[in-house]
Amino acid sequence: MEIQELMRYDASTGLSPSVFPKLSLFLIGLFSALLIFSGLRSKEAIAREDRETLKMGSGTRVVITLIILAAYIYLISILGYLVATPLALGLLMWYFGERRWLLILSVAILATTGISVFFRHVMYIILPEGILFP
């Protein structure tokens, strides 16, 4: 039986390092199967799932936000924090629906410098400076 093999004990090293990952994978499989089983049995649950898939409709906006964030993380290491942050922050605010340009500009600049000053002088952490502007 799989579970017996899984818990096999080795006197020299104790429990094998693979036991916990295997055990949790086994449990994930078990509970997933239970979830699918109970989902198929209950009609009420099926109706609810339908509604939930409908709620997922606006996925593109989520994906675009994630792409902006991923691009920001990538650009930090190249352009550096001080350049990448106002760009990302401004873009995100615009994408979230803010259309007052002056506000976007001032928040982008103030937040970027504020965070930078706080990290540098209070926490003594230098945020990435990038490779373009050494």
Partner 1 sequence: MLENFQLGLQVFITLPNILAVFIGVTAGIFVGAIPGLTATMSVALLVPLTFTMSPVTGLAMLIGVYKGGIYGGSITAILINTPGTPAAAATALDGYPLAKKGKALKALKMAIYASVMADTFSDIVLILVATPLAIVALKLGPPELTTLLILALTIVGLVSGKSLVKGLLVASLGVLFSTVGMDFMTGTPRFTFDSLEMAKGFPLIPVLIGLFAIPEILVQVEEKVRGTETVVLRKSPREEDNRVNFQELRGCSKTIFRSAIVGTFIGAIPGIGSVISSFISYGMAKRGAKHPEEFGYGSLEGVAAAEAGNNAVCGATLIPLLTLGIPGDSVTAVMLGAFLIQGLVPGPELIPKHPDVIYGLFVALMVANIANFLIANVGIRFFARVASVSKTIVFPTVAILCVVGSYAVENSLFDVKSMLFFGIVGYFMRKFDFPIPPFLIAFILGPMVENPLRQSLMISAGLSIFTVGWRQIKGKASGP
H/E stretch holding 14 reads: strand 14-15
Work out the number of other CB atoms within 10 angstroms of the CB of residue 86.
Answer: 19
Phi/psi for 9 (5° steps) reads -105, 135
Q: 14 - beta bridge partners?
A: 10
Q: Is 51 in the site for partner 1 (CB under 8 A)?
A: no
Q: Which of 6, 66, 117, 131 binds partner 1 (CB under 8 A)?
A: 66
Which C-beta is closer to partner 1: that of 53 or that of 134? Answer: 53
Q: Is 78 in the site for partner 1 (CB under 8 A)?
A: no
CB of 102 to partner 1, least distance (A): 13
| Window 109 to 128, contacts with partner 1 (CB under 8 A) | 111, 115, 119, 122-125, 127-128
